[in-house]
Amino acid sequence: MIIRALYIGAVSLSLALTAQAQSNGQQSLASALQVYVFPATGQLPAQQSTDEAECYEWAVNTSGSDPFAVQNQQADQAQQTQQAQQQASQVATGSGARGAVRGAAAGALVGAIAGDTGKGAAIGAGVGLVGGRVRGNARQREAQQQVQQQGEQAQQLSQAQIDNFRKAFSACLEAKEYIVKY
């Protein structure tokens, strides 16, 4: 209940600032949403601003999404995607080091049997490093593809939410006798 009141207060303040910005020649709420609105029956800018505010609230309630919140989610998701990609690249680096250690141990064992532990460990470390990096690079590519797919799916979902909001917003404004395009 309190959150709803705060939300309505924030929207009202935002809309009041939008009305003031319009009178100063700045961007309106509709244009910030990339929706183009023409007052078909000669509505004044103050009336249009009020109508846009009412339609904004109605569209949020009807569509279930707030485009400004969706944009913030998109920014958060982009940051999470970047962090996940960085973690995936660290996997390859760690795999090479682990492979080198395992290879050195196995090489030392084989070298001990052959009579030259040091040489066997060195060869084993080199082979293990290469093998570990190959496995790590494959894991890295796989992880990056998965992260990219998840990012694309989230982007598509976000765009669908914004499109649904714009449809609801436009329908409301058209009912108030505006010509609307997006």
More confident residue, 58 or 151: 58
Give the tens place of pLDDT for each residue, 129-141. Answer: 566 666 666 666 7
> Above pLDDT 90, what percent of the chain?
34
Q: Which of 4-13, 88-97, 145-154, 172-181 has the weakest average pLDDT?
A: 4-13
More confident residue, 164 or 76: 164
Res. 111: pLDDT tops 70: no
Question: For position 37, what pLDDT does the model report?
Answer: 96
Rounded CA separation 17/63 (Å): 24
Confidence of residue 10 (pLDDT cuts 50, 70, 90): very low
Among 162, 181, 177, 163, smallest CA distance to 51 is for: 177
Helix or strand run (H / E) with residue 70: helix 67-114
Domain assignments of the chain as residue spans, ordered by start: 2-66+167-181, 68-165
